[in-house]
Homo-oligomer: A and B are copies of this chain.
Amino acid sequence: MSKNVDKIPYKIYLEESEMPKAWYNVRSDMKNKPAPLLNPGTHEPMKAEELAGVFCDELIKQELDNDTPYIPIPDDILNFYKMYRPSPLVRAYCLEEKLDTPAKIYYKFEGNNTSGSHKLNSAIAQAYYAKKQGLKGVTTETGAGQWGTALSMACAYLGLDCKVYMVKVSYEQKPFRREVMRTYGASVTPSPSMETAVGRKILAEHPGTTGSLGCAISEAVEVATSTEGYRYVLGSVLNQVLLHQSIIGLETKAALDKYGIKADMIIGCAGGGSNLGGLISPFMGEKLRGEADYRIIAVEPRSCPSFTRGRYAYDFCDTGMVCPLAKMYTLGSNFIPAPNHAGGLRYHGMSPVLSQLYADGLMEAVAVKQTDVFEAAETFARVEGILPAPESSHAIKVAIDEALKCKETGEEKTIVFGLTGTGYFDMVAYEKFHDGKMENYVPTDEELEKSFQLLPKMD
C-alpha cells in the first residue's frame, strides 16, 4: 500500500476567479503563419465572404485572424465553462509509484463532463456565435459521436437546433452515443440519408453503403448551406477550434504556475489537432517568444501517421472534396485508415497551425502501436482510477515511456500530458484487447505512395 505525501495536491483546481478570461491565439506569436485555406477551384486564399454561407461570421473572423494574441471569452461562454471547468490538473502520484520513476507526472483531465472529452470547449463557443448571429441551428457530422454529443449539449443549453449526420455504421453499432445526443434534443440522422441530394445520389449508386465521414460532411454542409438560418460547424482541424481549445493549456499553465512548477515536456494525442493544439498553445507561445523551452510531443497511431509519414502539402479536408484546401501534414484525402479503435485519431490530415509548427521544428511527433496503447491504458486505469479513452491513451503511452527513461537516467523531469477523455463508450475495443483479438495495422509505403499521388496538383 502506498504512502503519498507531498506539498502538491493530487488535483490542482483553479478557483473560478483564476479561470482564463480570454483565449490565446498562438498564431499571433508564429513567425511563419499557417498557410491560408484555398478556394479549391481558383487556388486563391478563401475570403471571409466566400466562407459566410458555410460558417458563422464571428467564427470566420477568428479563423482568419493571425494577429490578435488574446480574444476575450464572452460571459455566456464563461458561465457555461463554469459548469464543468476548470478541469483538474492531476498529479499522477500513483502512476509515478507504479513506474518507480523520479519523474513528476501531471495530466490535464478533460473527461469530467458528459460529452466525455474536451470537444465541449469549442462546441459551446461555436453554438454561442451561431445563436448570437440569430441563427436557428447548426449542422455537423459525427463519426464515433464525441463531437456530436458535445455539440448537442451546447445547443440544448442555448436553445439552438442541432442536426447531426452520423456515419451509418456508427449510428447502428454505437446506439448509446446516439441516445445521448437525442437526450440533448439533437436530431441524429444516419448518413447517407434520403434527406439530401448528395445522400440520395450516394444511396442510388451504392445501395448497401454504411457511410463514411466524408459523406456525412457533405450532407451536413449541404443542409447548412441550403437551409435558411443554419450554418455548418466542425470539431477539429480549424484555427478557430484550436483557439477555443487554448482554454486547456491556459488552465494547465495557470495551475502549474500556482505551485511554481516548470514543465519539461508537454505530450498530447493528435488526430485533427484540437486537443494538442489547445494544450500546448501557451507553452508554445513562450517558446516562440523565446521566454522558455519545452519539448512538445504529438502522439499519433501507427495506423494513421499523418505527422510521421505524411506529406506537408495542400489537400482537401474531406473525402468528398467539397471543402477548401488546407496546407497540412496529410496522408491524402483518399487515405482510408484501417480499422482503429481510436476513432478520433483516424483523420487523414492535421491542423494547419500544428503542421506549420512541426515543419518549423518546434515540436516532435511519434507514432505508437495500438496494443501498446491499450496496455498503457490498462496500467493507467488500474493505478489512477480513470478509464481513459483510446485516443487519450496514446499520450499516456508516451508519458509512461518518457517516465521510464527518467528512471534509467535518474532525471526528475516534469511531464505534463493531456488526458482528453473517458473510454466508457469504447468497451468493445477494450474487450478485443482483453481477448487478445486486437490487431496492429500499419499502412505500407506503397499504400501511402498511391494515396499521395492523388494529392491536388498545385501551381
A83-117 interface bits toward B, Cβ cutoff 8 Å, 1 = contact, 0 = none: 11000000000100000000000000000111010
Q: Are A385 and B16 in contact (CB under 8 A)?
A: no
Q: Tell me the nearest residue of chain B to A14, going by C-beta.
A: B13
Proximity bits, A1-29, B CB within 8 Å = 1, else 0: 11110000111010110000000000000
Chain A binding surface SS class: helix
**Which stretch in A134-142, A326-334, A424-432 binds the other chain?**
A424-432
Count this chain's copies in the assembly. 2
Q: Which of A172-180, A407-415, A441-449 contacts B (4 or more CB under 8 A)?
A: A172-180
A144-165: which residues lie under 8 A (CB-CB) from chain B?
153, 156-158
**For the complex, is A434 an interface residue (Cβ under 8 Å from B)?**
yes
Q: Are A183 and B430 in contact (CB under 8 A)?
A: yes
Contact present for B10 and A13 (CB under 8 Å): no
Q: Which residue of B lies closest to A174 (CB)?
A: B427
Whether A175 pairs with B381 at a CB distance below 8 angstroms is no
Q: Which 4 A-B pairs have the closest CB atoms?
A: A176-B427, A156-B382, A10-B82, A179-B427
Number of residues of chain A lying within 8 A (CB) of chain B: 52
Task: Pick the contact of A157: B75, B94, B185, B386 (CB < 8 A).
Answer: B94
Q: For the complex, give the distance between the alpha carbons of A134 and B53 in Å.
A: 68
Least distance between A130 CB and chain B CB atoms (Å)? 12
A161 to chain B: closest CB distance in Å? Answer: 13
Contact A83:B94 (CB < 8 A) given known A112-B112, A183-B378, A382-B185: yes
Knowing that A2-B79, A3-B79, A113-B386 touch, tell me 10 more A-B residue pairs with CB under 8 angstroms: A94-B157, A113-B385, A114-B422, A116-B424, A153-B385, A176-B427, A179-B434, A180-B424, A182-B434, A183-B434
